[in-house]
Chain A
Amino acid sequence: MMKGVLTYMHRDFIRWFRYRVGVVSVLVLPAAWLLFVGLALPVQFTGNYLDFITPGILVMTILTAGISSGSLLMFDKLLGFLNKFLAMPVPRESILVSKILFISVRGIIQITIILVLAVLIGATILNPLQYGIIYLILFLFGVFIAAFSTTVAIYLNDHDSFAAFSAMVTMPLFFTSSALMPYDVMPGWLSTIAHVNPLSFAIDAIRDVAAGNLPLLPIVVIVVLSLFVFGICRHVFRKLTV
C-alpha cells in the first residue's frame, strides 16, 4: 500500500516540477493575494490587518490546492492512466491516498512561502509550536477538501464540468467565510453564512492559535470531517470501480 502511494506521489511530483508554469503559478498566486489584499486593501478592522488576513489567505490557498486534487484524478481518468492503474495488483485505494497526500503536501509548500512572506512584510512572528499546530490544521483541512473534490471528480465525466464545479465552489466559499473581515463588521446575513462555512472554521482555529490558545475542539472536528469525507470518497471509488 505505502509503496504504491509513494510511487504515485513521486510521479505526480515529477510531473508538477516538469510543468514549470504550474510551479510558478502555485507559488505566485497566494503571494499575490497576500500582498494585494493584505497590504493594499484600505481597511482597518483590526490592529494589524496583515495578521488578520494571513490565516484567511492560508486557508484559501489550501482550498484552491485541494480542489485541484480532483482535477488530477480527472486527467488520469480521461487520458486512460486510471484504467491502467486499476488493472494492477496495487491496492486501488493507494491511487486516492496518493492524490490527496500529494495535493496536501504541495499545499504545505505553498503555506511555507506565505508564512515567510507574511513575516517579511510585517506579520507577527509566532513560536514554533504555534506554527506546528497551524501546519497540522491546514494539512487536515487540505485532506478534507482534497477528498471532497476527488469524490466529485469520480462522479463527473469530463474536465469542463469539473472546472465549472471548482470555480463554483472556491470563490463563494472564500467570500462568505471569515477570511476578509471579522464577524462583527459583517452584515447579518453574511455573518450567518460565515458561521457555518467550513472555511471559517479552519480560519478561526488558526487565529485562535495565533492568539495563544489551543483550539482542541475545532481540530478534533476537522479530523472527524476529513476522515468522514475520505471514507465517503473511498466508498464511492470502490463502488464505481467494480
Chain B
Amino acid sequence: MASIETVGLTKNYGGLCAVDGLNIEIKDEIFGLLGPNGSGKTTTVLMLTTLISQTRGSASVCGYDTIKQPDKVRSCLSYVPQDMAIDTNLTGRENMMVFARLYGIENPKDKVDELLGIMELSDRADDLAKTYSGGMRRRLELAEALVHEPDVIFLDEPTLGLDVGARKKIWRHIYSLNRKGMTIFVTTHYMDEAEQFCDRVGIIDHGKIAALGTPSELKSQLMSDVITVSIDGEFFPVSPDGLNGILYVGNSGDEYSFTAENGREALPLIADALKSSGNRVRSMAMREPSLDDVFLQSVGKQEEEQGFEELKYRLMLRRR
C-alpha cells in the first residue's frame, strides 16, 4: 500500500493554479519534492497534511482520505513547517511535553527523554530553547514530530538556513528514521542534498510534475557529459546545424549548459557554434550531469526575481 497517493490533486487560488493535477504515489521511502519558489511545493504539503482543502482531485495518506478522514490522517502523520516554530521561552523538554500531552502519549516523560536522547539534545534539554543553535532547534522540532511515532513525516525545507555540519546531522537523522520504516516527504531546493539523500525525487514547476524518478534515473535522461559555457555580454542563440548529438539544456545566470555523449569532442563544436552566432565565450567546463542539470532542463530558464507579482503574492499569503 502506498503511504501517500494523490490523484489529479489540484488547488486554485482565485485565478491562480498553484497545483495542477498532481499524480504521485509514494511508498516507504525518502521522497523529495523539488521546485523553484512558488512552484506549488508548500501548497502540496498543506493539502496532504489536511491544512487546506483541494479544489479538485483526491489525496490519501496511510490509506486514509485527507478530506473524508482527516482525523485518521492527522494521527498518522507529522508536519514540520519551515518556520522553525518552537517556543523559545520554554526549555527543550517543556516544548516536547506540550506535544507529548497534545498527542495523549502514555508516560510522556519517558517518551520525551528517549527522543531527546535520539536527537542528541539530552544534555541541553533543560535550557531555554532560545539558547539553542539553528541545528538544535531543527532537531528539537524533529523530536516533537516523533512523539506519536507517525508513519509519515512531512518536512518543509528542513535544512533551510543551517550550516553544513547541521545539515548533515539533520539528514543523518532523516535517513535513520526512514530505515526504521517511516515515509519521509521532504521539500527542498538544495539539489545536492536531494541527490545524495532522497530515494526518489519529483521536480515540480508551475504546479505540475516536470520529472519524477530516482536521482540516477533522472540523470541518465541527460547524456553522459554536461558542458557549461560562461558568456560575456548578450547571449545569441546558436543554430542547431553542426551540433549533431548535442542538446541545449538551459541557463542559470550567464552560464549556459549543453549535454552530449562525448563531451571532449563536443567542446570545440560548441565553441565554434557559439562564436559564429556572435557570442563572446569567457570559459568552458565539462563535468558529469548532476540533479542541478535535470532541474534546469525540466524547469527551464531559471527566472531571476523580476517584476513583483503582487496579486500572486497576496494570494499566497492568504492561503493561511
Interface residues of A in 18-49 (CB under 8 A from B): 18-19
Knowing A83-B320, A242-B53, say if A89 contacts B71 (CB, 8 Å). yes
* Overall SS of chain B's interface: loop
| A11-B90, A14-B90, A242-B51 known; A84 vs B79 contact (CB < 8 Å) | yes
B257 within 8 A of A: no
Instruction: A11-B87, A84-B85 given; name 18 further pairs at CB < 8 Å.
Output: A4-B102, A7-B101, A10-B98, A11-B90, A79-B85, A80-B83, A83-B85, A84-B80, A84-B81, A87-B51, A87-B77, A87-B79, A88-B102, A89-B74, A157-B317, A241-B51, A242-B51, A242-B70
Partner of B83, one of A7, A11, A79: A79
CB neighbours (8 Å) of B83 from chain A are: 79-80, 83
Closest to A15 in B: B89
Q: Which residues on A sit within 8 Å (CB–CB) of B187? A: none
From A82, A84, A90, contact of B320 by CB (8 A):
A82
Contact residues on A (Cβ < 8 Å of other chain), bracket? 20 to 34
Q: What are 14 A-to-B residue pairs whose CB atoms are below 8 Å?
A: A7-B98, A11-B87, A11-B98, A79-B85, A80-B81, A80-B82, A80-B83, A80-B84, A84-B79, A86-B51, A88-B102, A89-B75, A89-B103, A242-B52
Interface pair A87/B50, CB less than 8 Å apart: yes
| Alpha-carbon separation in the docked complex, A11 to B94 (Å) | 9
Mask: chain A, 1-12; 1 = CB below 8 Å from B; 0 = not = 001100110110
Interface size of B in residues (CB-CB distance below 8 Å): 33
Instruction: Name B144's closest neighbour in chain A (CB-CB).
Output: A84
Asked if B78 is at the interface of the complex by the 8 Å CB criterion, the answer is yes
Q: A87 is contacted by which of B74, B89, B318 (Cβ under 8 Å)?
A: B74
Q: How far is the CB of B164 from chain A (nearest CB, A)?
A: 24
Give the residue name and chain of the A residue nearest to B317 (CB).
Answer: A157
Contact, CB under 8 Å: A81 / B85: yes
Smallest CB-CB separation from B75: which chain A residue? Answer: A89
**A207 at the A/B interface (Cβ < 8 Å)?**
no
Closest chain B residue, CB of each to CB of A4: B102
Q: Does B49 contact A (CB under 8 A)?
A: yes
